[in-house]
Structures are given as structure tokens and as C-alpha cells.
Amino acid sequence: MSHVDSEVRPSNFIRSIVNEDLESGKHTSVHTRFPPEPNGFLHIGHAKSICLNFGIAKDYNGQCNLRFDDTNPEKEDINYVHSIQEDVTWLGFQWDGDIRYSSNYFDKLHQYAIELITKGLAYVCFLNADETREYRGTLTEPGKDSPYRDVSVEENLELFEKMRKGDYKEGECSLRAKIDMASSFMCMRDPIIYRVRFAHHHQTGDKWCIYPMYDFTHCISDAIEHISHSLCSLEFQDNRRLYDWVLDNLHDFQTPDRTRQYEFSRLNLEYTLMSKRKLNDLVVRNLVQGWDDPRMPTIAGLRRRGYTAASIREFCLRIGVTKQENMIEVAMLDACIREELNDKAPRAMAVIHPVKVIIENYPEGQIETLNAPVHPSHDVMGTRELAFGREIYIDADDFREEANKKYKRLVQGKEVRLRNAYVIKAERCDKDADGNITTIYCHYDDETLGKNPSDGRKVKGVIHWVEATTAKPAEFRLYERLFTDPNPAAAETVDEVINPNSLVIAHGLVEANLVNAEAEHAYQFEREGYFCADSKDSTADSLVFNLTVALRDSSQ
């Protein structure tokens, strides 16, 4: 097929529809859009929609618009408009042409509403919210016609103009489409298409006191932008009737290549909340430190945590696009970043819970420089210098006075290899009044740099370390999942399921090379995990590292 570029991608039912539409000639090119509401930061669920919409446009040499669906001025904010653009760009996608806003079309939408009124297909209704609900009926019972349904076209045009001028209070009246109060689709029971809101809008200021509803706005915005395939999540399946009804009844949109809506299942991820409203609650209640807290499933949070755009795109590719509702395991997302970092991340040494080691047979005051590979399997990444001296730090977990054979680290009276350096033997240790080990006294074998002991002694364990006088203090932010329940959305309140240990802070030491660690670029701290410098809080004088992901999947 000439439209598809050479990149091999798994197909899905949406790509099949696109292929058919191009083959049949219904469309000659593909035009999609990503339509976020600017009422929060984008999350990993949005990444699925972004990868789908921008990915299809890219693969078929088509176009994808970024359109802010901004019909809800009270909940929206210009800061979200900015963060969303930044996140889409960071994910590696570029929208075609200018940023669009549904609010760009408020004048046109207003005209289309008048067209519906003129055709006897919309009316101003003065039922209050309770009455409207009562008249709507239920899933099992049909609704009742509003008493305002049969008011004349002329009168409705006047009433709608009065609505626009601000003559009615919020909630006093609304403009409704005249469809079918007995429809089995609730959304077709004379849905509200315009309501009164005396709210300042981030794009249109105070120009309007009536705002169009999503269902009326979305289809018209798609049609105006000549979107070919309007992709949305499954909860809008019923609304497709309304999407088509609105366009069917407007003169401008009677073309054979008119936009059509297709639904796919949204991403649900275990242990993760995925609704901007619920994520906003976490922020407002200070349960996290903002939308870009590294524990948040937001694009900004994942990025600050050390996830790469490529790993998120890879994840979206692996989960695929279907119509089946399902819950994806977190392990799948972790695997994507772990695989990438295992291959690409530079190695470094960091000691998270330091305990001092004195190498008694090493000359006092001497510091030597050792070389270590930046990556054990990629020589092209070069080497780094490590200082070594008489005093070093190792992790408290890597020393025992006594241990069985399974413990392959430092044990009193036994030997271990220091990663990238010598073999040392622990002789004795000091303890404080509480029995905590404070200093370990060792001897090193100066014949063991880069080689095994010459007398054939076998030294199995390898531990990491940093040199005491050159190492830099660092804060380590050790993250666990934010919730204790795989389906936190089902809990009555988040308080029941929030993990009190989702952030544990430790203070330790890192090798001196990390002073210049670039924020958000993860390292593998050998034997510890993948970590990146925090983009907000880490400075050369006060290093802060976020745990991106552990070395292995501990749930297996």
C-alpha cells in the first residue's frame, strides 16, 4: 500500500478501517486529532491515544491536529494548555499546523445552533436540573417531552438570543436538541447542546456567557478540521449516534468523506488512577507533591522519574489497540523502561545506606585513579575514572559478621571483590551502643586489580563502593507504587488504598562523576537500580536521585 511507510507495526482494527477507507477511495488521506481537555496534566492513558492518533497520521503520511477541547471554562486553565503541548512534544510527536481550540469555533457553533433551531431541531428549555432529570426517564422507561418542546421557531430564536445576551441565570434554561425522548440511547433524549455559564474563558475571555456542550462541539470541530477518523475511547460508543445526528442535520457537512467516530478501549493500568479529576484530588490534597510528582502516572511524572519517551511509546505499542476492556500489569510498563535502560544507561556506583570501611594495609593519604567501563557491553560508551583510597563506603546490607554460603557479599573473616577494584578481606568491625556496625576494618590484596588472586583463591561475591574523600553526598528518593490495591479506582476513598511507603528517602553517597548527572537521564547504579537526577531539586551541591525502576521485577 503506497500510503504506509516502511516501518513495521502491528496492525489493529483501526488500521484495518483506515486501510479499507483508503482502498475504497472514501478518503484519499488520513487526518486524525488528539483532543485533550485542558483540565489537568496528561497521563499514560493519554499516551495511548497520542501514540494511536499521531502514530497513524505518521505511518500513513497523513496529518494529526492537537485540539484543546475547551468547552468547560471553569475547570480549565492555561497552564494545562502549556503542559499538554510540552508533553506531546516530549513524547516525540508534532501536530500539524497551529494548535486548535474548540473555542476557535464558538462563532460557528453558535451559527450551527441557530441552524438547528431554524430547522425545528433545537429548543430553549426552562426545566430546572431536577425536572430535566425526571423528564429524561431511565434505562428501562422512556422519557417525557419537555413542555417547551413545541414552542415556535421564531420564539426559540429570540430566547436563544436572550440566552446569549446574558438575560438568563445559570441553570435557568438551556438549548436542547429535539431528537427522541423515547430513544433507547439516553444521550439521544433531547440532549443539552448549550448552557449558560458566566465564566471567564482562557481563550475567549468574557465574550460568551453560553457554552456549547462536548457532544455538540466535538463532531462539528472534527468536521470543520476535515478529520477522517475520529478516534475516542469506548465510553463514547453511544454518543456516536448524537455525533452523527448533529452532522446529518447541518447543511455544511453533507459530504461522502465526512468524519466518523471509532471507539477503542482505554488503558487501565494496575495500581494506578487514570482520571484527571482523581489525579487532581491527589494534588489538591497534597497526597503527592504536584502533577509531576515522580509517583504520578502523568507524562510529566514519568519523565521526572526517568522514563524515556521511547519506553512509553514502546509500551503503547505492546498494549495494542482493541475494543476489549482490560487491566494492564504495571510489570509491562516497567519492562519497557528496564529493557531500554539496561541497554543504554551509563553505569555508576552509589551507596544508599553507607557504612565506612578502612583498608588498613592501604597507604594513608594515598588516592589512586582506577578506570571502569561506562557500560559493560558497549565499549563505545568509554570509561570513567574512579578514585580509590584507604577509606571507602559500602552498603550496610553488604556486610555481615556471620552468614551462610548463600550470602555472596562481605563477611567477617572472608573476602569479596570491590566492583571495578580490588579484593578485600574483612577483619573486624566497630559497633555503636545500639549494636549498629559503624566501621569495618579490612585488608586488600594489591595483586587483584582486574585479575583473580594468583594462588587460585576463589572470590565469588562482588559489591559496590565509593571512595570516602571524593564521594558526594546524595539524597535517594526510593519510590514504590502509590497504591496498595491493584484497582484503586474501585476503592471508596483513596485514603483506604494509598501506600504510606510510596516514598522513602535515604541519604547516602555517589561516585564523584555524578556531580554532573543530567536531570531525567537515568544511570544504572550498579546492584541498586536505575536512578536519575531530579529535575526540580537536584543541584551540583545537593544531589537528589529518583529511583526510576528496580533492576529486576521483584513480583515474579
Q: Which residues are catalytic?
A: 37, 266, 276
User: Measured between alpha carbons, how far apart are the two ends of the chain, in Å?
Assistant: 42
Of 18, 27, 49, 471, the one binding ligand ATP (CB under 6 A) is 49
CA distances from 505 to 397, 480, 547 (A): 17, 11, 10
Find where cell 426552562 sits. 126
Of 15, 27, 31, 46, the one binding ligand ATP (CB under 6 A) is 46
Amino acid residing at 353: H
Q: By C-beta, is 72 or 487 nearer to Mg ion?
A: 72
396 binds, among ligand ATP, Mg ion, none (CB under 5 to 8 A by kind): none
Per DSSP bridges, beta strands 466-467 and 391-395 are: antiparallel
Q: How many residues form the binding site for ligand ATP (CB under 6 A)?
A: 15
| Burial of residue 78 (number of CB atoms within 10 Å: 0-12, 13-18, 19+) | exposed
Candidates 31-39, 403-411, 421-429, 459-467: pick the segment binding ligand ATP (CB under 6 A): 31-39
Q: How many residues form the binding site for Mg ion (CB under 5 A)?
A: 1
100 binds, among ligand ATP, Mg ion, none (CB under 5 to 8 A by kind): none
Rounded to the nearest whole angstrom, what is the least distance from the CB of residue 78 to Mg ion in the complex? 17
Q: By C-beta, is 66 or 250 nearer to Mg ion?
A: 66
For residue 292 the three cell numbers come to 509531576
Nearest to 128 by CA among 189, 182, 158, 170: 170
At 498 the three-state DSSP class reads strand
Query: 508 - beta bridge partners?
Result: 474
Rounded to the nearest whole angstrom, what is the least distance from the CB of residue 30 to ligand ATP in the complex? 16
Candidates 46-54, 219-227, 362-370, 532-540: pick the segment binding ligand ATP (CB under 6 A): 46-54
276 lies in the binding site for ligand ATP (CB under 6 A): yes
Q: By C-beta, is 233 or 237 nearer to ligand ATP?
A: 233
Q: For the chain, what is the radius of gyration of the CA atoms?
A: 31
At 53 the three-state DSSP class reads helix
For residues 249 and 116, the answer to whether their CB atoms sit within 8 Å is yes
Amino acid residing at 162: K
Q: By C-beta, is 70 or 415 nearer to Mg ion?
A: 70
Q: What share of the chain is helix, strand, coil (3-state, %, to 5)?
A: 30, 25, 45
Q: By C-beta, is 318 or 431 nearer to ligand ATP?
A: 318
Closest CB to ligand ATP belongs to which residue?
45
Residues from 210 through 249 that contact ligand ATP (CB under 6 A): 232-233
C-alpha 487/C-alpha 122 separation (Å) is 42
Q: By C-beta, is 46 or 304 nearer to ligand ATP?
A: 46
Rounded to the nearest whole angstrom, what is the least distance from the CB of residue 49 to ligand ATP in the complex? 4
Of 266, 353, 521, 527, the one binding ligand ATP (CB under 6 A) is 266
Of 37, 86, 238, 257, the one binding Mg ion (CB under 5 A) is 37
48 lies in the binding site for ligand ATP (CB under 6 A): yes
Candidates 30-38, 84-92, 471-479, 489-497: pick the segment binding Mg ion (CB under 5 A): 30-38
508 lies in the binding site for ligand ATP (CB under 6 A): no
Rounded to the nearest whole angstrom, what is the least distance from the CB of residue 313 to ligand ATP in the complex? 14
C-alpha 92/C-alpha 523 separation (Å) is 22
Residues from 163 through 182 that contact Mg ion (CB under 5 A): none
Q: By C-beta, is 218 or 313 nearer to Mg ion?
A: 218
| Burial of residue 186 (number of CB atoms within 10 Å: 0-12, 13-18, 19+) | middle
191 binds, among ligand ATP, Mg ion, none (CB under 5 to 8 A by kind): none
Contacts of 312 by beta carbon, 8 Å cutoff, 6+ apart:
44, 47, 91, 299, 302, 336
C-alpha 509/C-alpha 549 separation (Å) is 19
Of 18, 27, 31, 35, the one binding ligand ATP (CB under 6 A) is 35
Longest dimension (CA), the chain: 104
C-alpha 428/C-alpha 63 separation (Å) is 69
Cβ neighbours of 459 (radius 10 Å): 17
The site for ligand ATP (CB under 6 A) is made up of 35-37, 45-46, 48-49, 69, 232-233, 266-267, 274-276
Residues that bind Mg ion (CB under 5 A): 37
